[in-house]
Amino acid sequence: MNSSALIHAVIDGVLTGSVYALMATGLTLIFGVMDIINVAQGIFVILGAYLSYALSVHWGIDPFVGLAITIPTLFFVGIAVEKAFFGRLKGPEKTAMSILVTYAISLVIEGTLNMVFTVNYVQIQAWYVNKSFRLFGVWFPYIYVFGFIMAAIMLSGLYILLYRTRFGASIRASLADQTAAALVGIDVRRVSTICFGIGIALTAPGGMIFGATNTFNASTSYDLISRLLTIIVLGGMGSLGGALLAGILMVTLEDLVGVIWSPVWSTLSFFLVLVIVLSVRPQGLFGKQSARVA
């Protein structure tokens, strides 16, 4: 092990971590506004990856250009799923039920993807995949840099939506307190539907980068969702900034452990950190300490 390997691990960690952060932001947004733990987020990422893959293989559309199609598609898929299933979920076991509902949805999508694309592993191809450039003596893979830039643009867009628009204010109000938001005249139902759409739409760019940097098939989603859930719990469930920071931190840490000890232990370290942090700070790094949870 030398210092250059460490530097590479940190750089790769930050660059790929930002993409994980993007996917996790969608998940934590959905939880914060709707109290829904969307375990289908992993399969939606894979769905996004397959859409980009299909566009580039069949029509030769560049994956980044293809986002203009895949993001709106997944947004409307999200809206449709929300309208179809989550209006019915009520009562004290709503969150637990939401896990089962979204799990069932992910099973259906997984089966469909297996039928359409088979279970063979694929990877999105483009000229910048598997190519790097050298800067200050460090090699940067193009796809990681492009992914980082895209994640930064998407997250800034989300930030502007949330903090500079009227609709964003109603989302933040719903995040803080749904009952109070409804009392001041916010249509929480409509906000929830659109937030679910946004949360799912964010998996399209995330999935595209994931599909270009990894080989994947539908069952890759299990690995993804367990990471994403770990990230949002560590950041504090419902905290957008927390998800962002935890995403970058965790992936960097994983890369570092892989370099310093062995890749065998890197995934384990991911979950172990969560357990250790939560035994000290049960609400996560940036979570609100809820005074009363009914």
Partner 1 sequence: MLLQKKNLLWVVALVIALFVPQMITNPAYRQIAVITLIFTACATSWNMFSGYSGYVALGSAAFYGTGAYTMALMANHMHVPGNGDMFWLVPLGGLAAVVVAIPVGLVALRVRRHTFVVITIAIFFVFQLSAINANFTGGTGGLTLPYVPWQIQNYHLPFYYVALVVLVFAILLSAGVRRSRFGLQLLAIRDDEDRALGLGVKVFQVKLTGFAMSAFVFGMGGALYAMMQGQIYPQFVFDPMFDITIALMAFFGGFGTLLGPIIGGLVLESAQQYLTVTYSNGSLYLILFGVLFLLVILFMPQGIVVFVRDRMAQRQDRLESATKQVSNETPVAQGVHS
Residues interacting with partner 1, by CB under 8 A?
31, 35, 37, 85, 88-89, 91-93, 95-97, 99-101, 103-108, 110-112, 114-115, 222, 226, 229-230, 232-233, 237, 264-265, 267-268, 271-272, 274-275, 278-279, 282-284, 290, 292-294
Minimum distance between the CB of residue 200 and partner 1, rounded to whole angstroms?
17
Q: Give strand pairing partners of 216.
A: 122
**Pick from 36, 16, 13: nearest CA to 200:** 36
Q: Please say whether the beta carbons of 192 and 178 come within 8 A.
A: no
Shortest distance (Å) from residue 91 CB to partner 1: 8
Helix or strand (DSSP H, E) at 132: strand 132-135
Least CB distance from residue 223 to partner 1, whole Å? Answer: 10
Nearer to partner 1 among residue 198 and residue 231 (C-beta): 231
Closer Cβ to partner 1, 83 or 131, answer by number: 83
Least distance CB 109 / partner 1 (angstroms)? 8
The smaller minimum CB distance to partner 1, of residues 106 and 252, is found at 106
184 vs 293, beta carbon nearer partner 1: 293
* 38, 67, 87, 222 from 106: Cα distances, Å: 10, 22, 18, 10
**Please, where are the H alpha helices in 35-93?**
41-58, 63-81
Considering the complex, what minimum distance in angstroms separates the CB of residue 245 from partner 1?
Answer: 17
Please say which residue, 179 or 290, places its beta carbon nearer to partner 1.
Answer: 290
Q: Closest Cα to residue 13, out of 268, 269, 257?
A: 257
Smallest separation, CB 146 to partner 1 (Å):
30
129-149 as b/e, with b when 16 or more CB fall inside 10 Å?
A: beeeeeeeeeebbbbbbbbbe
* DSSP label at residue 93: T
Q: Taking Cα atoms as reference points, which of 205, 170, 200 lies closest to residue 79?
A: 200
Structure tokens at 194: 């659109």
Nearer to partner 1, 123 or 267 (CB): 267
